[in-house]
Amino acid sequence: MPRVPLLSGSRIVVTSLPDGALVLRPPPPGRGTDAEAATREALRFPLDGEPLESLARGARRATIVVQAPALPVPSPLADPRQRTIAAVSDALEALGIPTSSQTLLVACGLSRRASQREVAALVTPEFARRFHGRVAVHDAADPGLVPVDEDEEPALRVAPELVDTDLVVVVSAAESVLHGGPATLLAAANADAQRPALADSLLETGGSDGWLLATRLEHALAARVPLLGVSLVLNHPHGSGPLRGYPYEADAVERIAHSPLRRVFSAAPDPVRRRILGSLRLERTAAVVLAGPPSVAHAEALLRGIELRRTTLAEPLDALVLGVPWTTPFLPREQPNPLATAHLALGHALGLWRDAFPVVDGGIVILVDRFRRAFARPTQQPYLAFFRPTPIARSPELLAGAEAAAATDERAIDEYRAGRTVHPLLPFRDWDACRPALDRLGSVYVAGARDGTAARQLGFVPIGGLGAALDMAHGHRGPDARLGFLLAPPYFPLKVGG
């Protein structure tokens, strides 16, 4: 009977495939391109609008906006976004805007504000040495944010660096409708504007409040300052070491499932496993670089990325098994708490669908994770609000009250502004990001849960092991239930049906 390995936390869980089960894995990494040369070409020949040379005519100051590279998961050591930022800065300098007149604005959204070390990792060491401009890390709670559109709700206020300049260039990777492109601008806005930035599907603009907010902000800014977007299509990562070829190649999946070293690895203490996984060298390349108005460049890059990285599923499944790796969906990478784990799996991985949700209405998702109540201090302290003695996750009234209290918690906001924690509204947005999946699913099982209370506080069903979870899924959906196993990371688009 075939066996498949699933990355669960820092462990590798191997299970036998039931008869008729489908294995969903991403296509192998595509061919890379020279990110710097492709960026220079894109700046000269954008998809729409004027090239950088025309937009920069007469400009004396410029702001380069970048998003903290929390996505994609896992983070690579070599990231083509670093070289793209350098190419954009060089192009600006060639057009008469020296680095001393450039501002690098890091848009962290509601995640923890980037530290000096994390900012340095956004660029190449060579660029860091020669860049003489200003570096600003966005503060979503800054009372000095500049209003740009207060005619509708929510009111939009942005970092002063987006307005007090002669030119804005957005550099991002096209990961979803909520990550990259105009969403990078939204990640440099006020917390109240970012809070409702959600999407039914992360790959479709229709039904996405986040996309509407982001494009509304883009249009408001474009009326005040010239605006250009540079969007990268990233290939899946490739690496070396014991996990080479996983999860793309069937031979690699089989090799890991039957490797005797897997048992040695599983027997090692958790810190040792994390250190080993962190030492694996991963590299991402850019497949293409596009430029134009941020929403235009991003939409085209997103479509190309879907075609390049997708897997097709003929019809929705009755149950889907999903391993969740040891990582938070934000920076810094830390041991995730149960809500962060749920958000990575249900809000992100299960949001990467196009045309149809990958599980039938009333179906089952099985998360393979130990689901421990661990809250890295101080970064994840705002998530504790979901794990008090009285559960709030499935009560709209309790949720609303807890969110109102968090939004006015001056101590929590001060901790965020000091760069020690995530914004207190982030856990509530993370939970809302899970709702498109939760509203369709009948049950969420947590196979291997060590903290059943934490799972039940989120409305999930804790089960001792994956075998028992599969038996229960067959019991609920019938012996002919269509089962699927999603091998990740990296997470990948699913085109469902047709």
Q: What is the pLDDT of residue 80?
A: 94
CATH 3.90.226.30 residue window(s) in the chain: 3-27+310-496
CA-based nearest residue to 60, from 167, 168, 170: 167
Average pLDDT, the chain: 93
User: Is residue 149 over pLDDT 80?
Assistant: yes
Give 259's pLDDT tier (boundaries 50, 70, 90).
Answer: confident
Separation of alpha carbons 496 and 316, rounded Å: 7
pTM recorded for the entire structure: 0.94
Residues 390-399: tens digit of each pLDDT:
999 999 999 9
Q: Please, which residues have CB within 8 angstroms of residue 474's CB and are 6 or more apart in sequence?
A: 18, 481
Residues 412-437: tens digit of each pLDDT:
999 999 999 999 999 999 999 999 99
- Considering the chain, what percentage of its residues have pLDDT values greater than 70? 98
User: Is residue 35 over pLDDT 70?
Assistant: yes
CATH 3.40.50.11440 residue window(s) in the chain: 35-234
Give 73's pLDDT tier (boundaries 50, 70, 90).
Answer: confident
Phi-psi region of 118 (alpha: psi -120 to 50; beta: other; left: phi over 0): alpha
Q: What is the pLDDT of residue 254?
A: 87
Q: What is the pLDDT of residue 163?
A: 97
Residues 124-140: tens digit of each pLDDT:
999 999 999 999 999 99
Is pLDDT larger for residue 266 or for residue 12?
12
| CA-to-CA dists, residue 90 to 68, 127, 163, 374, angstroms | 21, 10, 22, 44
Beta bridge partners of 368: 323, 447
Q: What is the pLDDT of residue 85?
A: 97
Q: What is the pLDDT of residue 134?
A: 96
Q: What is the pLDDT of residue 498?
A: 62
Is pLDDT larger for residue 240 or for residue 422?
422
- Considering the chain, what percentage of its residues have pLDDT values greater than 90? 75
Identify the architecture of domain 35-234 in CATH.
3-Layer(aba) Sandwich (3.40)
Residues 461-482: tens digit of each pLDDT:
999 899 999 999 988 888 889 9
Separation of alpha carbons 104 and 124, rounded Å: 14
Q: What is the pLDDT of residue 126?
A: 94
**How is domain 3-27+310-496 classified at the CATH fold level?**
2-enoyl-CoA Hydratase; Chain A, domain 1 (3.90.226)
Q: Cα 10 from chain centroid?
A: 19
Say whether 241 sits in a helix, a strand or coil.
coil
Separation of alpha carbons 153 and 13, rounded Å: 46
Is pLDDT larger for residue 410 or for residue 281?
410
Q: What is the pLDDT of residue 1?
A: 59
Give 258's pLDDT tier (boundaries 50, 70, 90).
Answer: confident
User: Is residue 166 over pLDDT 80?
Assistant: yes
